[in-house]
Amino acid sequence: MASVTQFSNFIMHLQGHRDLSLITLNNFLKYYPINDDQFDSNLIHQFFLYAFRHKYWQQNKEPLFNAIFTATNNFVKQNYLNTDLQPLLFWKENKIFDIHNHQDQQDVLNQFFRFKTAEPNVNLLELDNDRTLMLQVLDGQRLNIKVFGPYFYLKHGLLTPILPYSDLFYSPEMELDTNKAQTLEIENNVFLHGVFSNGLWRGQIIRGYTLQKYSGLNMGKLTEFPEVFRALKKLEINYINLETDPDYLKLKATIEKSIQILESNGENCLEIAMKNMIRVEKIRKQLFPNDKSLKYLISTLEVCLLRRMKQAPQVSEYNAPKEFE
C-alpha cells in the first residue's frame, strides 16, 4: 500500500519540470483537496475529471493519458503495488461531448439525475457562458448549488457531466455550510477550492489548464477577496432573496440616504451624494447588474443630483471612492 504523498513525491522527481502533463498532475496533487491519503486508481480518475474540464486537455487527451498512465504504471511497479490500473483505460478511448444548447444541457442533466437518485428534487436554471445551475434540497433543509459547463462524457451508457464548475453547500439559514468543502468558479478557468468557517475563507485559487495555484486564502473575510466576493454574489442572485442579503440592503440604504441628504440641502450634500452615486453604481454593475430596484433608485438619485446641480453648479473637487468593503 502506498500513500498519495509518496506518489506526489515520485511525480515531482520525474521530468515534471519539462512535461506539461506531469506538471499538471503534480499541481493537482499539491493544491486540490484529496480526502484520502491512500493511493489508488480512483485518484487518477479524479485527476482526469479535473483536467478534462479544460478545453486544452480535451484537445490533447492522448498525450495527457499516455504520460499519466505511464508514470502511474511505473510507480505501481516500482513499489510492488497490487493497484489495478485497467479502469484508467476508460479514458483512453472515451470521448468528451460538447453540449452548448441550454435545452439540450438541461435534458441531459435531468436524465442523469433521474438515474442517479430516485428522488432527485432538482431544479435547473439557465445561466450565461454555456452554464447550467442546479439547485437541490438536501435532507429537506440544506441547499446544494452546482454549476455545470457544456462538457459531458459517456459512463455506463449515460451522458455524465464533467465535475461541476461551482459546488456550494448552504445551511438551513442560507449561510455557506462550514462542514463542507466549497468550489466556486471565479471566472473562466479560475476556481476557488476552500472552506468557509466563522465568516472566514481558507483555501486555494487555481488557475488555468495546468491547475496552477494563483493565490491562497488564509482565514480572511470574504470582502478581503474582491474577485471571490463578486463571483459569489453574481451567482447567489439566482437563488437567494436579495431582500435578505445584507450587502444588497446596505447598498439600498446608501442610495436612499443619499437622496435624503440631497433633499435636506445640508452642507456638502451635493459632493457627498455624487461620491455615493459613483460608488453604488460601480457596485451595482459588479454584484447586482440586472436588479431593477437598484437601477430605479440610482436613477432617482441621479435626477435629484441634476436638479440640485442646477441650483448649485459649483462643486468642489472630490476623490474617487474606495472599493466596496
* Residue ranges of domains in the chain: 4-94, 98-239, 243-311
Q: pLDDT confidence of 163, banded at 50, 70, 90? A: very high
Quick one: average pLDDT of 118-136?
Answer: 87
Q: pLDDT confidence of 16, banded at 50, 70, 90? A: low
Q: Please list, residue by residue across 70-96, b when 16 or more beta carbons sit within 10 angstroms of its beta carbon and e when fewer do.
A: ebbeebbeeeeeebeeeebeebeeeeb
Instruction: Identify the residue whose cell numbers are 432573496.
Output: 241
Could you tell me which residue, 317 or 8, shows the higher pLDDT? 8
pLDDT at 318: 39
CB atoms within 10 A of CB 110: 14
Could you tell me which residue, 226 or 75, shows the higher pLDDT? 75
Whole-number average pLDDT of the chain: 87
Could you tell me which residue, 17 or 169, shows the higher pLDDT? 169
Residue 39 CA, chain-centre distance (Å), reads: 27
Percent of the chain with pLDDT over 70: 93
Out of 15-24, 124-133, 274-283, 306-315, least confident range: 306-315
CB atoms within 10 A of CB 190: 15
Could you tell me which residue, 44 or 269, shows the higher pLDDT? 44
Q: Is the pLDDT of residue 147 over 80?
A: yes
Q: Is the pLDDT of residue 312 over 70?
A: no
CB atoms within 10 A of CB 22: 20
Radius of gyration of the chain (CA): 25
196 Cβ contact partners less than 8 Å away, ≥ 6 residues apart? 176, 177, 178, 182, 222
Please list the residues that pair with 152 across neighbouring strands. 97, 161
Q: Is the pLDDT of residue 78 over 60?
A: yes
Q: pLDDT confidence of 42, banded at 50, 70, 90? A: very high
79 Cβ contact partners less than 8 Å away, ≥ 6 residues apart? 2, 6
- 3-class DSSP state of 144: strand
Q: Is the pLDDT of residue 120 over 70?
A: no
Please list the residues that pair with 145 across neighbouring strands. 135, 168
pLDDT at 98: 95
Q: Which one, of 208, 227, 179, lies nearest residue 323 by Cα?
A: 227
Q: Rounded to two decimals, what is the model's pTM?
A: 0.79
Quick one: average pLDDT of 243-253?
Answer: 87
Could you tell me which residue, 316 or 2, shows the higher pLDDT? 2
Q: pLDDT confidence of 149, banded at 50, 70, 90? A: very high
Instruction: Note the pLDDT tens digit of each residue in 195-217.
Output: 888 778 888 999 999 999 988 77
